């Protein structure tokens, strides 16, 4: 069953925009979550993504369990590695890093993940993950040993996204990287969106309400924000329901 994915599709067809708050187990202690989650629940956030580049398995599961005590929003894994896959979440972005040519992140890790997923009830959502240059090196680049696509190569970015769709991915994620200096350029978001028949996720470096609106207006269906909330959770007050 594709409950979460189908809900994303139906929200989009109703003209709604979606917001995922990214919670990184490496930076978030379960015991300090309560106030953060209260603010999150009063905001326009629609999803919670959990994941990070360098996290061990147990801390992800413990954090997911704790998050679910505080919210009814869907919790979606956005894993940096197989060790972060836990059945306590609702869904998994099964990410294939299609902007790079590192076989580990295109297929090898996915094969290793199957033993964890075969009998799991986690909803698995195939996602084409595209790293875009942002002005500085991000941890995704370091961990995956791949280069982001340069922002001058607009056609290559569009074609990469479209190739992801044609390969059967159900989501395309344009990623500038956590804490990016610059988020994905609005023109690129708009051109990619025009090519796609599947939902478009955009994340990395989005820090203000104005930027959030600009990225939505350019065509993002779902925006992911982590750092801005980590640094100052009063940002939730600006985006109350
Ligand atoms: C990172 O796209 C997400 O994978 C969110 O990025 O932390 O910069 O908001 P930020």
Q: What is the DSSP string of 60-72?
A: HHHHHHHHHHH--
Q: Which residues line ligand 1 (CB under 6 A)?
A: 22, 175, 178-180, 203-206, 224-228
CA of 216 from ligand 1 middle (Å) equals 15
If you ran DSSP here, which 8-state letter would residue 197 be given?
S
Token representation of residue 180:
């990016």
If you ran DSSP here, which 8-state letter would residue 104 be given?
I
Q: What is the distance between the alpha carbons of residues 130 and 111, in angstroms, rounded to a whole number?
A: 20
Q: What is the pLDDT of residue 51?
A: 94
Q: Which of 49, 175, 201, 239 for a ligand 1 pocket mutation test, highest count of atoms within 8 Å of Cβ?
A: 175
Q: What is the pLDDT of residue 58?
A: 80
Is 35 marked within a binding site? no
CA of 223 from ligand 1 middle (Å) equals 9
Mean pLDDT by 10 residues, the chain (241 residues): 95 98 92 95 98 78 96 97 94 98 96 96 98 94 95 98 98 97 98 98 98 98 98 96 91
Q: What is the pLDDT of residue 53?
A: 78
CA of 83 from ligand 1 middle (Å) equals 20
ipTM of the complex: 0.98
CA of 12 from ligand 1 middle (Å) equals 21
Q: What is the pLDDT of residue 57?
A: 64
Q: Which of 21, 53, 208, 227 for a ligand 1 pocket mutation test, highest count of atoms within 8 Å of Cβ?
A: 227
Helices (H), 89-176: 103, 109-117, 139-144, 154-166
Residue with tokens 């202690």: 29
Evaluate whether 209 touches 166 at the Cβ level (below 8 Å): no
Strand 123-131 relative to strand 75-77, pairing: unpaired
**Contacts (Cβ under 8 Å, ≥6 apart) of 36:** 28, 229, 233
Is 204 marked within a binding site? yes
Give me the DSSP letters along the chain: --HHHHHHHHHHHTT--EEEEEE-TTT--GGGHHHHHHHHHTBS--EEEE--SS--HHHHHHHHHHHHHH--S-EEE--SSGGG--TTSSEEEEEEETTS--HIIIIIHHHHHHHHHTT--PEEEEEEEEEB--SS--HHHHHHT-PPBPTT-HHHHHHHHHHHHHTT-SEEEEE--TT-SSPPPHHHHHHHHHH-SS-EEEESS--SHHHHHHHHHHT-SEEEE-HHHHH-TTHHHHTB-
Token representation of residue 157:
């970015």
Cα four-point dihedral sign 71, 73, 79, 83? positive
Q: What is the distance between the alpha carbons of residues 94 and 72, in angstroms, rounded to a whole number?
A: 22
Domains and CATH numbers, the chain: 3-238 (3.20.20.390)
Q: What is the distance between the alpha carbons of residues 205 and 178, in angstroms, rounded to a whole number?
A: 6
Nearest ligand 1 atom to the CA of 204 is 6
Token representation of residue 186:
């609005």
CA of 119 from ligand 1 middle (Å) equals 30
């Amino acid at each position: 069953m594709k409950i979460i994915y189908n809900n994303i599709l139906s929200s989009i067809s109703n003209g709604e925009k979606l917001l995922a708050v990214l919670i990184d187990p490496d930076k978030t202690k379960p015991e300090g979550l309560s106030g953060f989650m209260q603010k999150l629940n009063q905001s326009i956030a629609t999803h919670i993504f959990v994941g990070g580049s360098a996290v061990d398995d147990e801390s992800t599961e413990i954090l997911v369990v704790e998050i679910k005590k505080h919210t009814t929003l869907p919790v979606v894994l956005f894993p940096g590695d197989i060790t972060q896959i836990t059945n306590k979440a609702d869904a998994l972005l099964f990410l294939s890093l299609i902007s790079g040519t590192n076989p580990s992140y295109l297929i090898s890790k996915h094969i290793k993940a199957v033993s964890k997923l075969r009998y799991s009830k986690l909803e698995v959502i195939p996602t084409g993950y595209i790293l875009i240059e942002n002005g500085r090196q991000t941890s995704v680049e370091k961990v995956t040993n791949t280069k982001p696509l340069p922002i001058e190569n607009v056609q290559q970015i569009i074609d990469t996204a479209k190739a992801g769709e044609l390969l059967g991915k159900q989501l395309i994620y344009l990623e500038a990287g956590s804490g990016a200096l610059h988020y994905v350029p609005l023109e690129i978001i708009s051109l990619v969106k025009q090519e796609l028949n599947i939902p478009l996720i955009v994340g990395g470096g989005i820090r203000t309400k104005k930027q959030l609106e600009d990225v939505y207006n350019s065509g993002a269906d779902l925006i992911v924000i982590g750092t801005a909330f980590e640094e100052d959770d009063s940002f939730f007050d600006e985006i109350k329901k």
